[in-house]
Amino acid sequence: MKIRKTKYTGAVNLAAYIILSIFSVMCVLPFVVIVSGSLTDNAIIVSEGYSLLPKGFTLEAYQTIFKTPKDILKAYGVTMFCTAIGTGIGLVMTTLTGYVLSRKEFKYRNTISFLIYFTTIFGGGLVPWYFMISGVLKLKGTLMAIWMPGLTTAFFIILMRTFIVASVPDELTEAAKIDGAGHGTIFTRVVTPILKPGLATVGLFLALGYWNDWFRSSLFSTSQSTWTLQYYLYNLVNRAEALRSMANQSRITIDNLPTEAVKLAMAVVATGPILLLYPFVQKYFVSGITVGAVKG
């Protein structure tokens, strides 16, 4: 069907392009400032503040971060391992749970759905959760304590169940049953191909959660070998702040310690890989508008 254009169509499109361009610039500018600040001399940042272009160009902040490349590469490896295994297993768990809860023939789906939803309102709190991981499961000091607790959430399960109900028509599953397919075949060959937008969405959320996590490392890590990238950089900044504080108390000048620039360089180092991942996932968000539609 051809869309009829009116005399106002061009003006509306122009206004939409202008508004979208303004919002795009507003989204990009903060990251430009971060990159510029990471390449700016720390003394200039302290005295003059941030700017769009680097002033007193220097790589000192990055040299501070990569002063011990073995340690930061180890932290990168831990984060990449936890992100990969946690996202993969988490997607399988979330999708299988959402599929089971979406089946009308499952007798207890409403009861289990309520119990899952109940955890979003009431929870045991941090202390029981910590004792369960470290005391009951005996996982403290292991990598499993870093990635296992974040495999899925009630929100992801409810989101996936809703997506399956909205995107997978009952006619498809009924036709597969008539052809003799079981639930395993229906899930892998009928439901999963339609769920690419949902899988991409939940997978991106899971990956972002693992990549940005530092809290579980602070609770359960007993050695630097299980530090994630975020927790490693967090400790790096804390050490720099502690040195500056000790120097100020001792009236010793250490202006060449790039504390502020290190914070910005850390943001670049931490967000760079995940920014490269997003363009490969974005197309599935767009295709989610039409996926699952049934022609009448």
| Locus of tokens 């340690």 | 71
Taking the domains of the chain in order of start, what are their residue ranges? 61-287
Exposed (0-12), middle (13-18) or buried (19+): which is 41, by Cβ within 10 Å? buried
Q: Is the pLDDT of residue 224 over 80?
A: yes
Structure tokens at 266: 């850390």
Contact in structure between 277 and 207 (CB atoms under 8 Å) = yes
Rounded Cα gap, residues 149 and 187, in angstroms = 25
Q: What is the pLDDT of residues 73-111, one digit of tens each?
A: 888 899 999 999 999 999 999 999 999 998 888 888 889
pLDDT (tens digit per residue) in 265-277: 888 888 877 777 7
CATH code for the structural domain at 61-287: 1.10.3720.10
The answer to whether 232 touches 68, Cβ cutoff 8 Å, is no
Question: Is the pTM value of this prediction over 0.85?
Answer: no
